[in-house]
Amino acid sequence: MLEIIFYGIHLVFSLFFFLLIPFVWLIKGSVIEGNVLNLQRLLRFYKPILFMAHIGVIVSLLTGMYLATSWFNLWFLAVFVVWLVLSAYLGITAKYVRLVLEQIEQHSALKSSNIVSKLRRASLILMMMTVLMFALKLLRYV
């Protein structure tokens, strides 16, 4: 019974990572439009999602360790490495979201800013790691 509850919790927090997949494309669209207000709204919308994803990183580690049948196989090692990279880029993305929002509030020019390009790069790697994690999850059952 406890395994079913942990599996459900594990899946609920994976939804926050699923919501992060289109983030890089939404940033790109907002930057191409040049509408700073839309970018600000987007980043404010995603800020709580990033916060919940941070909680999900810890919860997924705990529930994943409990649910793992063996800690000494190649699949678990791959999932753990992807989890580490995903966690790092989640933090980096959250940092650049904060920096871009601060820059918008100070009415600085975003076109000349290197921070937006760093945000796009970090969120792209975050998206790739999230997709890879979902692929590893499915790969186990194939």
Confidence check: pLDDT of 107 > 90: no
For residue 112, what pLDDT is reported? 56
Which pLDDT band holds residue 110 (cuts at 50, 70, 90)?
low
pLDDT per position as a tens digit, 69-98: 888 999 999 999 999 999 999 999 999 999
Question: Can you spell out the DSSP letters for 45-89?
Answer: HHHHHHHHHHHHHHHHHHHHHHH-S-SSSHHHHHHHHHHHHHHHH
pLDDT per position as a tens digit, 20-36: 999 999 999 998 888 88
Confidence check: pLDDT of 135 > 80: yes
Give the single-character DSSP code of 122: H
Least confident of 3-7, 37-41, 111-115: 111-115
For residue 141, what pLDDT is reported? 80
Give the containing element (helix H, strand E) for 105: helix 74-105
Decide if domain 2-139 falls under CATH 2.60.40.
no
Q: What predicted TM-score, i.e. pTM, was given to this entire model? A: 0.91
Cα gap 113→26, rounded to integer Å: 18
Domain coordinates in residue numbering, the chain: 2-139
109-114 mean pLDDT? 69
